[in-house]
C-alpha cells in the first residue's frame, strides 16, 4: 500500500509531540512493507524535497501571510487574516492538487494542518484519494489550537470560534475516516458537527522507547525531586505546579523545571514561593530530564488531547501524576488514583506528599507505571492504523464514510 503522511512539521523540524508520533508511524508502516512518503510545510516561500532517514519528504511552500513556527509579536488583525486564509487557501489547494496527483497513493493520512488547512482534503477528494485524518489538537475548532482563554479551558467553542470553524466543519465531510488520539478529543469535534460522514475510532498515541537498554529502578532522592517539563505557561499549569508543591507542606522537596519560559513567569513564581527550592534547566531533551527527577507532575489546565508526557517517564521507573484534563484520564485508565481534579492544588499536594512519605507506595507505582509503558508502544498503534488505512484504501472514493468494514471494527477494539 502506498501511503502519504501529511503533517505541518516533520523531523528534524520538531515543535511538539505530533511530529515524532508521525515519524514513528512512518517507520512502523515502512517496516511492514508499505511505501511511505511525507508531505509537510516549508519554512519559506519555496518548496523543498529531501530524504530523511530514507523517507521522501516534500515540503510545500509556506503560502500564508507568515510562518506560525517563527515566534514573533503579531497584531490581532494579522492573526485574524492568517486564520481566514488558513480556513481555505486556494494556493495550497492548487499546489496539493498537483503534488498529490504525481504521488499515485492509495491513502492520505493528514495530521496537524495549521498552515496548510482543509484545502488538502479538497485536493485529495478531487483526485479520489481517500483521507484519514488524525486529531491531535483543537485547531479545527479553535484558531489557537488550545480552546483555552482567560486562564480557563473552554468547555465549548465560543461564538467567534464557531463562526471561524464552520467552513472547516463543512470541508471535514470530505474525510472518510477520522482518528482521535483520545475519546475526549474525538467527541469534542463530533459535538461541533465535524466529520459527520466519517467512520470514527480512537487510537491512543504511542512512542518508541528513548533508550535501547531498559532503565533500572532507583529509590527517590532526598530532597525529593518533583519534575515539570513543557512550556511554563498558563495552559500547562505552571502556577498550579508551584501551588501543589507548596500544598505538600514539606521542606523535603525540590522543583526541577525543564521547558521554554516564553512568558517569563518563572522568576515571578520563584519570588512568590521563596520556600521552594527550584532548579531550572530551560529547554532540554525529555530523555535527559526524566532520570533527574523522582516524580513527574502534569498540571495541564487546558484539555490535553492525550498527553504523552504523562507516560514517557514510566520508561525510567518514574511515576507521574496529573490533573483530569481532557484525555489525560485515558492515559491513567489503569490507575486513576494517580489523578486529581483539574486545578485542585490541595489534592495535588496530598498526592505528592504520599509519594514522599510512603516509600512502599512509591516503589509499587514506579514498577506498575514501568510495566504499563508497554501499552503505549508503536506496534500496538501500528496494527490499529494499518486496519484503518486499509479500510480507507478499499472504500469507494466517491463516497467517503460509506460502510463500516471489518478493519474498522478491529481498529475500534
Give the domain CATH number at 105: 3.40.50.2000
Do 72 and 124 lie in one domain? The reply is yes
CA atoms of 119 and 136, how far apart (whole Å): 18
Residue 410 has pLDDT above 80, yes or no: no
Residue 331 has pLDDT above 80, yes or no: yes
CA atoms of 70 and 136, how far apart (whole Å): 21
Q: What's the pLDDT tens digit per position in 44-96?
A: 999 999 999 999 999 999 999 999 888 788 998 999 999 999 999 999 999 99
Mean pLDDT score of the chain: 92
Question: What residues form DSSP beta bridges with 148?
Answer: 153
Secondary structure in 3-state letters for the chain: CEEEEECCCCCCCCCCHHHHHHHHHHHHHHHCCCEEEEEEECCCCCCEEEEECCEEEEEECCCCCCCCCCCCCCCHHHHHHHHHHHHCCHHHHHHHHHHHHHHCCCEEEECCCCCCCCHHHHHHHHCCCCEEEEECCCCCCCCCCCCEECCEECCCCCHHHHHHHHHHHHHHHHCCEEEECCHHHHHHHHHCCCCCCCEEEECCCCCCCCCCCCCCCCCCCCCEEEEEECCCCCCCCHHHHHHHHHHCCCCCEEEEEECCCCCCCHHHHHHHCCCCEEEEEECCCHHHHHHHCCEEEECCCCCCCCCHHHCHHHHHCCCEEEECCCCHHHHCCCCHHHEECCCCHHHHHHHHHHHHHCHHHHHHHHHHHHHHHHHHCHHHHHHHHHHHHHHHHHCCCCCCCCCCCHHHHHHHC
State what percent of residues in the chain have pLDDT above 90: 85
| Domain contains 145 | yes
pLDDT (0 to 100) of residue 380:
86
Do 178 and 253 lie in one domain? The reply is no
Secondary structure in 3-state letters for 136-158: CCCCCCCCCCCCEECCEECCCCC
Q: What's the pLDDT tens digit per position in 216-250?
A: 999 999 999 999 999 999 999 999 999 999 999 99
Neighbours of 300 (CB within 10 A): 24
Do 320 and 394 lie in one domain? The reply is no
| Domain contains 215 | no
Do 67 and 197 lie in one domain? The reply is yes
pLDDT (0 to 100) of residue 262:
85
Rounded mean pLDDT, 189-197: 95
pLDDT (0 to 100) of residue 14:
87
Residue 401 has pLDDT above 70, yes or no: no
pLDDT (0 to 100) of residue 263:
86
pLDDT (0 to 100) of residue 336:
97
Give the residue, 400 or 89, on which the prediction is more confident.
89
pLDDT (0 to 100) of residue 345:
98
Do 80 and 131 lie in one domain? The reply is yes
Please give the residue range of the domain that contains residue 115.
Answer: 2-208+378-412
| Domain contains 82 | yes
Rounded mean pLDDT, 29-52: 96
Name the domain count of the chain: 2
b/e code 176-188 from CB counts within 10 Å (16+ = b): bbbbbbbebbbeb
| Domain contains 58 | yes
Do 76 and 130 lie in one domain? The reply is yes
CA atoms of 393 and 391, how far apart (whole Å): 5
Rounded mean pLDDT, 178-203: 96
Name, of 13-17, 261-265, 336-340, the range with top average pLDDT: 336-340
pLDDT (0 to 100) of residue 402:
39
Do 328 and 341 lie in one domain? The reply is yes
Do 351 and 399 lie in one domain? The reply is no
| Domain contains 79 | yes
Residue of 2, 7, 125, 124 lying closest to 58 (CA atoms): 7
Do 406 and 352 lie in one domain? The reply is no
Do 371 and 314 lie in one domain? The reply is yes
Give the residue, 399 or 195, on which the prediction is more confident.
195
Residue 301 has pLDDT above 50, yes or no: yes
Rounded mean pLDDT, 304-330: 97
pLDDT (0 to 100) of residue 404:
38
pLDDT (0 to 100) of residue 324:
98
Rounded mean pLDDT, 285-292: 95
| Domain contains 217 | no
Q: What's the pLDDT tens digit per position in 97-151?
A: 999 999 999 999 999 999 999 999 999 999 999 999 999 999 999 988 999 998 8
| Domain contains 214 | no
Do 258 and 197 lie in one domain? The reply is no
| Domain contains 181 | yes
Neighbours of 341 (CB within 10 A): 10
pLDDT (0 to 100) of residue 104:
92
- pLDDT interval class at 212 (50, 70, 90): confident
Do 142 and 235 lie in one domain? The reply is no
Amino acid at each position: 500500500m502506498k501511503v502519504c503522511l501529511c503533517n505541518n512539521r516533520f523531523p528534524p523540524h520538531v515543535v511538539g509531540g505530533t511530529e515524532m508520533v508521525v515519524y514513528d508511524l512512518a517507520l512502523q508502516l515502512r517496516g511492514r512493507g508499505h511505501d511511505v512518503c511525507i508531505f509537510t510545510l516549508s519554512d519559506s516561500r519555496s518548496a523543498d524535497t529531501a530524504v530523511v532517514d530514507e523517507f521522501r519528504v516534500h515540503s510545500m511552500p509556506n503560502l500564508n501571510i507568515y510562518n506560525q513556527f517563527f515566534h514573533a509579536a503579531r497584531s490581532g488583525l494579522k492573526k485574524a487574516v492568517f486564520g481566514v486564509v488558513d480556513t481555505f487557501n486556494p494556493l495550497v489547494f492548487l499546489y496539493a492538487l498537483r503534488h498529490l496527483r504525481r504521488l499515485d497513493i492509495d491513502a492520505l493520512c493528514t495530521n496537524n494542518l495549521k498552515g496548510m488547512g482543509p484545502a488538502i482534503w479538497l485536493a485529495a477528494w478531487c483526485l479520489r484519494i481517500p483521507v484519514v485524518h488524525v486529531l491531535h489538537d483543537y485547531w479545527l475548532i479553535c484558531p489557537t489550537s488550545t480552546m483555552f482563554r482567560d486562564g480557563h479551558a473552554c468547555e465549548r467553542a465560543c461564538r467567534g470560534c464557531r463562526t471561524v470553524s464552520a467552513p472547516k466543519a463543512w470541508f471535514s465531510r470530505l474525510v472518510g475516516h477520522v482518528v482521535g488520539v483520545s475519546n475526549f478529543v474525538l467527541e469534542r469535534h463530533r459535538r461541533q458537527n465535524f466529520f459527520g460522514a466519517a467512520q470514527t475510532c480512537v487510537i491512543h498515541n504511542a512512542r518508541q522507547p528513548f533508550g535501547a537498554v531498559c532503565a533500572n529502578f532507583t529509590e527517590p532522592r532526598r530532597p525529593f525531586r518533583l519534575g515539570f517539563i513543557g512550556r511554563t505557561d498558563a495552559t500547562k499549569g505552571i502556577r498550579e505546579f508551584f501551588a501543589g508543591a507548596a500544598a505538600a507542606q514539606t521542606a523535603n522537596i525540590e522543583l526541577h523545571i525543564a521547558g521554554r519560559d516564553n512568558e517569563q513567569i518563572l522568576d515571578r513564581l520563584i519570588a512568590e514561593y521563596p520556600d521552594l527550592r527550584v532548579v531550572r534547566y530551560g529547554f532540554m531533551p525529555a530523555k535527559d530530564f526524566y532520570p533527574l527527577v523522582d516524580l513527574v507532575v502534569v498540571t495541564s489546565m487546558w484539555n490535553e488531547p492525550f498527553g504523552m508526557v504523562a507516560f514517557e517517564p514510566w520508561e525510567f521507573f518514574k511515576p507521574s501524576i496529573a490533573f483530569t484534563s481532557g484525555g489525560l484520564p485515558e492515559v491513567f485508565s489503569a490507575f486513576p488514583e494517580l489523578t486529581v481534579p483539574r486545578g485542585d492544588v490541595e489534592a495535588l499536594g496530598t498526592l505528592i506528599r504520599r509519594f514522599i512519605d510512603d516509600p512502599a507506595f512509591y516503589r509499587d507505582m514506579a514498577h506498575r507505571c514501568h510495566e504499563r509503558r508497554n501499552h503505549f508502544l508503536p506496534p500496538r498503534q501500528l496494527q490499529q492504523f494499518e486496519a484503518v488505512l486499509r479500510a480507507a484504501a478499499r472504500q469507494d472514493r466517491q463516497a467517503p464514510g460509506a460502510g463500516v468494514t471489518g478493519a474498522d471494527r478491529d481498529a475500534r477494539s
